[in-house]
Amino acid sequence: MDIRIERTNTPKDLPGKDNPLVFGTIFTDHMFIMDYDTSKGWHDARIVPYQPISLEPSAMVFHYGQEMFEGLKAYQAEDGRVLLFRPDMNAKRTNKTCKRLCMPEIPEEDFVQAIKELVKVDKAWVPTKEGTSLYIRPFIFATSPFLGVRPSTTYKFVIILSPVGAYYPEGLDPVKIWIEDDYVRAVKGGIGEAKTGGNYVASLKAQVKAHEEGFSQVLWLDGVHRKYIEEVGAMNIFFVIDKVVVTPKLNGSILPGVTRDSVIRLCKDWGYTVEERKISIDEVYQAHKDGILEEVFGTGTAAVISPVGYLRWGKHDMQVQDGGIGNLSQKLYDSLTGIQLGKLQDTNNWTVEIE
């Protein structure tokens, strides 16, 4: 793919060393854009100064939400290399989402090339402080000016970059999670496993309620029985019960997380029994009562590994062990970030250097 590059004449100041890099608030100097229409396919790939996008008010994305997004990160290694983590997985998931939402797929190599070229142009923005990275947000949306309900015939694929610190203000400190048994996020056959804004807007009502009660995030139960655990708003969820690592099996309504997949692989490599299966909230509650709920943690690109110290399910409050960071959560955080930062050997060939 040919990518035209137009550099900005007015570069912004880089964030200072003491800037906390609050998640998703600062954007770099450039962005990637590519257009699609049914006659030309994807065309006119370009990197341009970061700028507003002009769209018709009738653009279909505003009315029927035909859009998708991804999230991955670039890391500054100690030896000066800039590394991506498993970008091929994001490319594959993009195309799975696009198929589900009747949007045009993007060749995997073009998706990864666009990210590499953009990060190369804005390499100076990859932060170096511990716990920081350059968050990469690719997204695709419908642009046809039309109010009928059908797939759009034109789209834009855009990538923006944002230097970030921890997703939760708590950092690696354990978060409090609200288990939602009234609202639901997704149902089988719907779009729960697609990475699309609709799943996140569906989560807001319960999230606002959880925040008002002093909780960071919502843990969703399945949409039919309100019994089986699915995922948390911005991450997948894992439990360690009596030394066994358990996570909900992907069932069509759960997002197939890249960090989830990596954590399963690392735990298996370390000799843990990992079960991907249905797990009910009653089982978690019983394990807590029996004293064998050893750890709970979330996984996600933005959240990395987020220990959960406290759960509320209706009238039941559960503190997970002493409410601190569990041993496995800490080991996973250290290992994943160690690989991502090029400090630990990458035996699975997950990192991709930007040259």
Q: Given the rule CB under 6 A, which residues bind ligand COI? A: 71, 200, 234, 300-302
**Three-state DSSP state, 338:** helix
Q: How far is the CB of 73 from ligand COI (least distance, A)?
A: 8
Q: Tell me the HSE value of 106 on the side-chain side, using a 13 A CA sphere.
A: 34
Contacts (Cβ under 8 Å, ≥6 apart) of 338: 344
Q: How far is the CB of 138 from ligand COI (least distance, A)?
A: 10
* Sign of the torsion angle spanned by Cα atoms 22, 25, 29, 31: positive
| Minimum CB distance to ligand COI smaller for 15 or for 24 | 24
| Minimum CB distance to ligand COI smaller for 161 or for 234 | 234
Tell me the residue number closest to ligand COI, measured at CB.
Answer: 71
| Minimum CB distance to ligand COI smaller for 144 or for 199 | 199
Q: How far is the CB of 71 from ligand COI (least distance, A)?
A: 2
What is the biggest distance separating any 2 CA atoms in the chain, rounded to whole angstroms? 63
Q: How far is the CB of 253 from ligand COI (least distance, A)?
A: 16
- DSSP string computed for 237-271: EEEEETTEEEEEPP-SSS---HHHHHHHHHHHHTT
Q: How far is the CB of 233 from ligand COI (least distance, A)?
A: 7
**CA–CA separation, 238 vs 76, rounded Å?**
28
Characterize 295-334 residue by residue with b for buried, 16 or more Cβ atoms within 10 angstroms of its Cβ, and e for exposed.
bbbbbbbbbbbbbbbbbbbeeeebebbeeebbebbbebbe
For strand 274-277 and strand 351-354, is the pairing parallel, antiparallel, or unpaired? unpaired
Q: How far is the CB of 136 from ligand COI (least distance, A)?
A: 9
Which among 242, 232, 307 is positioned nearest to 273, based on CA atoms?
242
Q: How far is the CB of 87 from ligand COI (least distance, A)?
A: 13
**CA–CA separation, 197 vs 10, rounded Å?**
32
| Minimum CB distance to ligand COI smaller for 21 or for 318 | 21
**CA–CA separation, 337 vs 162, rounded Å?**
18
| Minimum CB distance to ligand COI smaller for 300 or for 307 | 300
| Minimum CB distance to ligand COI smaller for 73 or for 176 | 73
Contact between 320 and 296 under an 8 Å Cβ cutoff? The reply is yes
| Minimum CB distance to ligand COI smaller for 74 or for 318 | 74
Q: How far is the CB of 292 from ligand COI (least distance, A)?
A: 29
